[in-house]
Amino acid sequence: MEFFHKQTRIAFMSTRKVWYALSAVLMIGSLGALATLGLNLAIDFTGGVSVEAALPSAANVDAIRTELERAGFREPQVGIFGSSREVAIRLPPDDSRSVADIRARVEQALLAVEPGAEVRKLDVVGPQVGDELRTSAVWALTFALILIFIYIALRFHTWRLSAGAIVAVMHDPILVLGIFSVTQTPFDLAVVAAILAVVGYSLNDTVVIFDRIRERFEHNRRLPPMVVLDQAINQTLSRTIMTKVVTLIVVVALLFLGGPVLRGFSEALMIGILAGTYSSIYISSAIALDAGLTAEHVFPTVKKTAADDMP
């Protein structure tokens, strides 16, 4: 079996303006959504309480909410998830109480309304811990990007390729964040992990294509750069698609079978992998091309002597 029996000859580069426009729209939309809607941060980052309980009979959501309010909690969110006999409670952080006190009160309130409730999961995160996790997540992303920039700068000898790789690497996590913002999917620590993995994977594709660009230039340095870039993408296309299909198989398995804990994680990976495939094919090389990449930049022909530099 083969996706492409013959070597494909798709002219990727000639349509690049279209993809620039699409990506620009996606980026502006994502950043706009992040700025206006923000992310639906899970208690990992905000602090607060999250409870999941299984009940013997259908949950009386309103009664639980009232009881929580009576126990002194502001804005309790009580909802049903899974079946009507599974209830999820979410409370905002409360500076004035100790973690131990909060837990005791929530449990009490729940058991007062639903005596047979089995608390399956109860997380109480102090506001300070939430703040710190938020900071460390931002640091992790920043730091990963810095390291990757350094890697790219060292790896490709010309800034033209580096620029392409950096834009592609920024493109994918922003899109993931944008979609999480628009859909208000809960954003927890695992999603941060997924985004970092996406950054790694997306760069991986770009690197493989750039590797091939270098090889093509080495092979025939007289060809116009646009042709070389198209060749490189076409020659690696079946690998790109094959790898993505296989990775998507496992991510889909995770998404549908991994349960609610891994849902956000799997969704982020799924979006990121699709975006990464697109950006490494259409964006990273195109930017290098528009930055004026030629064989000369990849393999400088004449070694300059000191005399050449003289005016």
- Tokens 């996606």: give the residue: 26
Assess 55 for contact with another protein (CB under 8 A): no
State the nearest-atom distance from the C-beta of 219 to another protein, in Å: 12
Of positions 250, 292, 299, 300, contacts another protein by CB under 8 A: 250
Q: How far apart are CA 284 and CA 31, in angstroms?
A: 20
73: nearest Cα among 43, 104, 46, 44: 104
Region near another protein per CB under 8 A, out of 22-30, 59-67, 134-142, 301-309: 134-142
Assess 243 for contact with another protein (CB under 8 A): yes
Of positions 81, 104, 116, 292, contacts another protein by CB under 8 A: 104
Q: How far apart are CA 241 and CA 237, in angstroms?
A: 6
Residue type, 175: L
Assess 116 for contact with another protein (CB under 8 A): no
Task: Between 33 and 288, name the residue whose CB sits nearer to another protein.
Answer: 288
State the nearest-atom distance from the C-beta of 306 to another protein, in Å: 33
Of positions 68, 78, 124, 233, contacts another protein by CB under 8 A: 124
Contact of 268 with 195, CB cutoff 8 Å: yes
Site string for another protein, 270-309 (x = CB under 8 A): ----------------------------------------
Assess 8 for contact with another protein (CB under 8 A): no
- Tokens 């979410």: give the residue: 90
Among residue numbers 83 through 102, which ones bind another protein (CB under 8 A)? 96-101
State the nearest-atom distance from the C-beta of 134 to another protein, in Å: 12
Q: Terminal CA-to-CA distance of the chain, rounded, Å?
A: 60
Q: How far apart are CA 137 and CA 39, in angstroms?
A: 14
Contact of 78 with 65, CB cutoff 8 Å: yes
Cα angle value 260/266/267 (rounded, 5°): 95
Count residues near another protein (CB under 8 A).
Answer: 75
Q: Tokens standing for 20?
A: 């620039």
Q: Which residues contact 268 (CB under 8 A, 6 or more apart)?
A: 176, 180, 191, 194, 195, 198
Cα angle value 286/287/289 (rounded, 5°): 65
Distances in Å between the Cα of 172 and the Cα atoms of 66, 122, 185, 198, 211 are: 43, 33, 17, 7, 21
Assess 254 for contact with another protein (CB under 8 A): yes
State the nearest-atom distance from the C-beta of 255 to another protein, in Å: 8
Assess 249 for contact with another protein (CB under 8 A): yes
Assess 143 for contact with another protein (CB under 8 A): yes
Task: Between 96 and 301, name the residue whose CB sits nearer to another protein.
Answer: 96
Assess 114 for contact with another protein (CB under 8 A): no
Task: Between 11 and 242, name the residue whose CB sits nearer to another protein.
Answer: 242
As a dihedral over the C-alpha atoms of residue 143, residue 149, residue 151, residue 155, rounded to 10 degrees, the angle is: 180
Among residue numbers 163 through 222, which ones bind another protein (CB under 8 A)? 189-190, 192-193, 196-197, 199-201, 203-205, 207-208, 211-212
Assess 75 for contact with another protein (CB under 8 A): no
